[in-house]
Structure 1
């Protein structure tokens, strides 16, 4: 269930970005979400 939530969060972050810089920031936030879910 956590994996599904993380996947949905990553998709939402990626869908919201408009620039290459935005993609990098969104991927970083997605990684932070994965780290929090892993704890």
Structure 2
């Protein structure tokens, strides 16, 4: 893993953790992340 990939993953994790305050919010964030990955793969 190069530095850019590590930076992007850390930034995404930071935004995800700061954006959700509850367990329900975490589930929604993970679901949206999965949907984004599916759209990118298609």
TM, length-normalised to structure 2: 0.60
* Number of equivalenced pairs: 34
- CA offset at residue 31 of structure 1? 0.3
Moved more, 22-31 or 12-21: 12-21
Gaps of 5+ in 1: none
Structure exhibiting the larger radius of gyration computed from Cα positions? 2
Large movers: runs of 4+ above 6 Å = none
Task: Please show how residues 2-17 of structure 1 align to structure 2 within 5 Å.
Answer: 7=9, 10-11=12-13, 12-17=15-20
CA offsets, 1:1-39, max 9 Å, x none? xxx6xx57x533343100000000000000000000001
Alignment root-mean-square deviation, CA: 2.2
